[in-house]
Chain A
Amino acid sequence: EDQVTQSPEALRLQEGESSSLNCSYTVSGLRGLFWYRQDPGKGPEFLFTLYSAGEEKEKERLKATLTKKESFLHITAPKPEDSATYLCAVQYNFNKFYFGSGTKLNVKP
């Protein structure tokens, strides 16, 4: 049973076309939900940590939100340089982390 599910698996957008990526989780006792950006052949780059339902965080064109069962990463007016795979992870115990398989975003100019 998957603990973390990300959708869609892949997303193609035109430059400037806003959209959202979804991360749903089934674990209870969430300590934190994390968003990362990963470029091909590189390590994940930290974006956000969310701790509780209702929390929102923003960074440039990205905004992350959290509910009791899912998180959204909203991308406003994306640019080609936003193309990457976006990973979601949840922590439900001191050292228990589950990662989703990611959403591969491609932004066309």
Chain B
Amino acid sequence: GQSLEQPSEVTAVEGAIVQINCTYQTSGFYGLSWYQQHDGGAPTFLSYNGLDGLEETGRFSSFLSRSDSYGYLLLQELQMKDSASYFCAVRAYGGATNKLIFGTGTLLAVQP
């Protein structure tokens, strides 16, 4: 089977740095994506790691270790607008199928 684990909630203050971890168990692993979803909104793509290492996009960075089946999303200089749910998602394949499997999400609350 396939499963992804993330912390359910994280709280941090404005200006701080926060790390959201994701561990996965899946067959046919291609890579790990991260999505942000504000309450009542649609998920929006943040970053993707197809190879081990760190990817940086502005205030957001994402890391992947295939050998540990582990990744994280790092958010720096937190702003109030970063309060949202964050999902890791595994791009997996099996035979002729191709699918994106989402984790249960981490609710980030940024406090002033």
A and B: interacting chains: no
Could you list which residues of chain A lie within 8 angstroms of chain B, going by C-beta atoms?
none
